[in-house]
Amino acid sequence: MQFLAEGKALVARRGGETLRIEGWGRDSLRVRAWMYDESSRNDWALTEKPEETECRIRIGEEDHWVGDGTIDRVPCAEIENGRIRAVVNFAGVISFFRDGKLILREYYRSYGGTLSEGSRCLKIVNRDWKGIIGGSEYTLTVKFDANDGEKIYGMGQYQQPWLNLKGNVLELAQRNSQISVPFMVSSLGYGLLWNNPAVGHAAFANNYTEWLARSTKQMDYWITAADGPKEILRNYTDVTGHAPMFPENLMGLWQCKLRYRTQEEVLSVARQYQKEGIRIDQIVIDFFHWTVQGDWKFDKTYWPDPKAMVDELHSMGIRVIVSVWPSVDRKSENFAPMMERGLLIRTERGAAQTYDYQGDCVEIDPFNPETRQYIWEVCKKNYYDFGIDGFWLDNSEPDYGVYDFENYRYCAGPALTCSNMYPQMFSRAFFEPMTADKGEDTVNLLRCGWAGSQKYGNVIWSGDVPSTFQALREQLQAGLNMGLAGIPWWTTDIGGFMTDDVEDPKFRQLLIRWYQFAVYSAVLRMHGDRGPYNIPPLDTRDWGGGYLHTGQPNELWSYGEENYAIMRKYYDVRIAMHDYIRSLYREAHENGSPLIRTMFYEFPEDAKCWELQDQYMFGGKYLVAPVLECDCWEREVYLPAGSWKNVNNGETLEGGKTVTVKAPIEEIPVFERL
């Protein structure tokens, strides 16, 4: 291994591999490697200029056991940036230290181990580059030693019951309701960003940790050291970007359903809310208000005067957001010009089709700047110029008909190398021109994101999840881990997306429990596909805004007087917290803190808080214990040390213990930190 210092970077070369480690912000290091001269030169999620720091580089020698009982002196090197230090031995194995204590080491089981370990005959190396036959990319596997007792969080959104990800294998790929944001937070006081949008996996096993990119030219990860998760998130968002300040007039209720089919339906709902004395901040117009996918315009048969509709909604103080999909049907007026100009995803084999829901479609290629300009110009003309305030960028993974990533190619390269960044590039097609037009008041709704998406005005929701208590429990884990992955603007479909019977008492109970949880989250948003599907279509055509089905009503008053009274009560709770919620959004903007937080985020010294996954903090003030089971009328709540007030009955309790509290249907257990 040859070591040298290049400016503020430590560089090492061995066997055709170049390794580069440099300071990258406060107490942080960026680690890159490539074979021969195949560096991608991309910064990916590390878009922000890092804080200037002083790094110390030392190149020297260390003892090495040769195997015949003798010890040689071999080269080694280290780089230190504040509280973090990386040591590279002669075999290129990197060990990371926080304040002098080992926190992470690459896994190496081959000839030429360290003095303490001796040689191994397994021939397992820490960074394994396997060339892809016929291509210039590699399949890259990077392994680290597992740390006993370590807990791991973040990584985005996965539909599973576990908050602590230790022991999990996570696909690094975007799917409907699965969001890969490859930033992990460790209980040992470090965070690590896998700064690579390639499709692959991360395995946090008990024998070793493994990161795999199926097709890439460069290893790139960023590691930071800090005392706790709050400082880790601050360091992370400093280098990947901060969320903008959220608009005050969107902190209340958003109204949506599958689907409002006409502008008169939208206006009648808005007028009824006004009569009820309930302000809705935003109303959402869902899919198939258009002619065909890819036309990106209202069907004039059912939306004859969109500007008049928007003007009336604005007069009520309601913003308007419309659904835009990345899919372009072959029947669309935009299909031929986009295909001709190379603005759509290419398939490597077979027919040119990537999506087959309600049409024969190919999806756009947002990695191409010309594509982003094209779709914005169409949507500006057909939506934005009518006064539409924002865009619901649905299917933004994108939702492939078949998730065969090796069969798709973007202008940036094979989908395997970069597909995880697709939703972020899709969002930029709208965020960048909208921000240039009206400043930082840009908020769009997406079903997916990647590392750094927080800086592009993205509210991300958890996808098309079922209407079950199991799904509700899983959304809590998903939202908490999304926050720890740096995505503070996160929400769900209240009640889940898919239910067959709105009259089912168990569903109505679920709806209330989900709504109460949503009141104490970043965005309070009514949405769902509500059965039974006994509402006839408006049109006999097999295209256009009138042919597709619609679900049952989904407004607050749609579920009976008893449920309406509870939802109205908690609507008032949400509105009363406006100033507090604004302060939480300011924290998210300034230091990356999520609005819904794991218990250990606020109480990192309390070991019990690292075990809890069925309660959370809404900011630093409110402890929220949602009801996550059907027919559950009381539950246990752990109160950390300090004084706590039960907001439902005013009782003050001392913490440091678990208490049992009542949870009738009209109450969610919430405690205020005194």
pLDDT digits (tens, 9 = 90+) for 644-659: 999 999 999 999 999 9
Tell the residue number behind the tokens 């990192």, with chain if given. 604
Is 80 exceeded by the pLDDT of residue 64?
no
Q: How far is CA 80 from CA 98, 129, 213, 229, 238, in A?
A: 10, 27, 28, 21, 19
Q: Give percent above pLDDT 90 in the chain.
A: 92
Residues in the chain: 674
What's the predicted TM-score (pTM) here? 0.97
**pLDDT of the residue at 70:** 73
Known catalytic residues are: 394, 397, 464
Q: Is 527 exposed, middle or buried (0-12, 13-18, 19+ CB in 10 A)?
A: buried
Query: Is residue 317 within 8 Å of 354, Cβ to Cβ?
Result: no
Helix then strand count (H, E) for the chain reads 12, 41
Is 90 exceeded by the pLDDT of residue 440?
no
Which residue from 149, 169, 165 is spatially nearest to 210, judged by alpha carbons? 169
Alpha helix ranges (H) inside 439-557: 469-484, 505-519
Task: Name the residue type at position 477.
Answer: Q
Alpha helix ranges (H) inside 491-610: 505-519, 561-576, 578-591, 599-602
**pLDDT of the residue at 122:** 87
Q: 590 phi and psi, to 5 degrees?
A: -85, -40
Is 90 exceeded by the pLDDT of residue 67?
no
Q: Residues 607-623: what's their mean pLDDT?
A: 98
Q: What is the mean pLDDT of the chain?
A: 96
What are the start and end residues of each CATH 2.60.40.1180 domain in the chain? 598-673
Q: CA-CA distance, 67 to 545, in Å (whole number)? A: 75
pLDDT band at 115 (very low <50, low <70, confident <90, very high): very low
**pLDDT of the residue at 69:** 65
pLDDT tens, 268-294?
999 999 999 999 999 999 999 999 999
Buried-state track 305-334, b at ≥16 Cβ within 10 A, e below 16? ebeebbebbeeeebbbbbbbbbbbbbebeb
Q: CA-CA distance, 84 to 81, in Å (whole number)? A: 6
Say whether 282 sits in a helix, a strand or coil: strand
DSSP state of 147: P
Is 50 exceeded by the pLDDT of residue 212?
yes
Query: Is residue 530 within 8 Å of 496, Cβ to Cβ?
Result: no
Class at the top of the CATH hierarchy for domain 2-240:
mainly beta
Q: 613 phi and psi, to 5 degrees?
A: -140, 10
Q: Which is more confidently placed, 567 or 134?
A: 567
Which residue from 302, 394, 296 is spatially nearest to 338, judged by alpha carbons? 296
Is 90 exceeded by the pLDDT of residue 39?
no
Task: Name the residue type at position 533.
Answer: Y
Query: Is residue 640 within 8 Å of 606, Cβ to Cβ?
Result: yes
Q: Residues 220-242: what's their mean pLDDT?
A: 98
pLDDT band at 610 (very low <50, low <70, confident <90, very high): very high
pLDDT tens, 147-202?
999 999 999 999 999 999 999 999 999 999 999 999 999 999 999 999 999 999 99
Say whether 622 sits in a helix, a strand or coil: strand
Q: Residues 455-468: what's their mean pLDDT?
A: 98
pLDDT band at 351 (very low <50, low <70, confident <90, very high): very high
**pLDDT of the residue at 479:** 98
Q: Give percent above pLDDT 70 in the chain.
A: 98
pLDDT tens, 474-527?
999 999 999 999 999 999 999 999 999 999 999 999 999 999 999 999 999 999
pLDDT band at 111 (very low <50, low <70, confident <90, very high): low
**pLDDT of the residue at 66:** 62
The domain 598-673 having CATH identifier 2.60.40.1180: the answer here is yes
Is 60 exceeded by the pLDDT of residue 116?
no
Q: Residues 359-363: what's their mean pLDDT?
A: 97
Is 80 exceeded by the pLDDT of residue 592?
yes
What are the start and end residues of each CATH 2.60.40.1760 domain in the chain? 2-240
Is 80 exceeded by the pLDDT of residue 395?
yes
